[in-house]
Amino acid sequence: MARQHGEAEPGRPAHETPAGRPADPADAGIGLLALVERTLGTGTAVYVPGDGWIRLTLPLEDGGPAPVTVDVIADTRRTPRGIAYLLPGGGLNFGSVFFTPSDLNLAHRLRREGLLVVGVTPREDAATAQDIGPDWGLAAHRRDLAAAVEALEGALGLPYQYVGHSAGALLALDAAAHDESPRLTRVVALDTTGPYSGDLAVRAAQTRDAYEARIAGGAYATDPGLAALVARAVTDPAGASDVPWPPDPGLRFTNAGLAHYALVRTTLLPGPADWIHTQGHAAGSYVFGAAPAGDRFGLTHTPLATWHAAATALGSGLVPTALMRDLAAVWAGDEKTYAIDWGRISAEVVWINTELGRGDHARGPRLIRAGGNRRVRFAVVPGYGHGDPLWSQTAAADVWSLL
């Protein structure tokens, strides 16, 4: 049975149906979702009705160790004018990224604009570490996406766009470079990184090498651990973590302190790719006190409860090491390891970064323009961290309005 990413409307249960059998034929959106279900595969579908919308979750079972999962949000009151394929970042899924918070999210925003929302969650969300192999890189993700798009394009014949965040945004750009369909109209890239130059490109190459070494050592997947940090901060905020406190390494962060520090000071963490953030996953502040219990901290745009809701919606939370290696190769401009053909992206591109997340690095958009595509917009949202464009309480006005 497909795993549900998100909540049904209170008081309205989900309807589970065998493939091809809609839950409620009276629902105006069910015919479209039944067509999607028949088109995409043989997995067991889960239907969740909402107020004016309906959701289908369907694993695309193809005999692999874990399925790609497709979520579809359809308006029940009108026929869609197009499709938005929503692509989550590394270790995340559609529900965590685009359907959080449950009542105010980017999926519903796009649905209200007349689009059929199709979230494509990569295989690793349903995988174990033992399932993931050394070939689960960016090309494999692109092929999985292309299979779903090709099937739905033939069945629905609607114009479509790719909307991705972080690693999902680079996947969207890579997919657009390989997609020759005239129905592809736009790519929306939220807070991602194209090739660096100079010292940052050198550092990206070192990151690529670090991930390549992990693959050579048989470490094909990583759990970043942020979900567990946030969970402990919510369930036991005053408890002592296992992580040394920087002012006095003999002491330990509180659980709440560690989660906030990891969110707002991500670039100071020791992970191979944490440095890529200008400051952090979230906008906020952190001031050390006389002891860990006296630290003062807070989040500016996205409440910790929202981060917890997003983390709770995750599946495995695993990130394939091959995917991280390929991303780092793109950042380094290493076309031998992995290359995005920027000059082949002909659809309109809307690329929006955040000041505190991926920052004002515009070489990717410049490379697209250099290939002859003049329909490229690049903007940086001030005061926002990496996850805030999705989950901030003011994202609709500050970010989504730019789309």
Please give the structure tokens belonging to residue 332: 């380094």
**Residue 87 one-letter amino acid:** L
Q: 293 pLDDT exceeds 60?
A: yes
Q: How far apart are CA 323 and CA 320, in angstroms?
A: 5
As to burial, measured by CB atoms within 10 angstroms (0-12 exposed, 13-18 middle, 19+ buried), residue 71 is: buried
Greater model confidence, 398 or 19: 398
Residue 102 to residues 7, 98, 256, 306, 371, Cα–Cα distance (Å): 7, 9, 24, 10, 39
Residue 125 to residues 59, 247, 398, Cα–Cα distance (Å): 11, 37, 30
**Longest alpha-carbon distance in the chain:** 64
Quote the percentage of the chain above a pLDDT of 90: 90
pLDDT the model gives residue 41: 80
**Mean pLDDT, the chain, whole residue set:** 93
- CB within 8 Å of 143: residues ≥ 6 apart: none
Q: Do the beta carbons of residue 220 and residue 316 sit within 8 Å?
A: no
Q: Do the beta carbons of residue 382 and residue 359 sit within 8 Å?
A: no
Q: 344 pLDDT exceeds 50?
A: yes
Q: Stretch 288-296: mean pLDDT, rounded?
A: 98
- CB within 8 Å of 230: residues ≥ 6 apart: 259, 304, 307, 308, 311
Q: Is the dihedral of CA 366, 371, 374, 377 positive or negative?
A: negative
Q: 6 pLDDT exceeds 90?
A: no
pLDDT the model gives residue 18: 41
Q: How far apart are CA 44 and CA 64, in angstroms?
A: 16
- CB within 8 Å of 31: residues ≥ 6 apart: 22, 25
pLDDT the model gives residue 31: 86
Q: Stretch 245-271: mean pLDDT, rounded?
A: 98
pLDDT the model gives residue 42: 75
pLDDT the model gives residue 13: 37
Q: 60 pLDDT exceeds 60?
A: yes
Please give the structure tokens belonging to residue 100: 């959080």
| pLDDT tens, position by position, 180-217 | 999 999 999 999 999 999 999 999 999 999 999 999 99
pLDDT the model gives residue 74: 96
DSSP 149-194: HHHHHHHH---EEEEEETHHHHHHHHHHHH---TTEEEEEEES---
**Residue 176 one-letter amino acid:** A
Q: How far apart are CA 310 and CA 83, in angstroms?
A: 24
pLDDT the model gives residue 28: 55
Please give the structure tokens belonging to residue 24: 């409620």
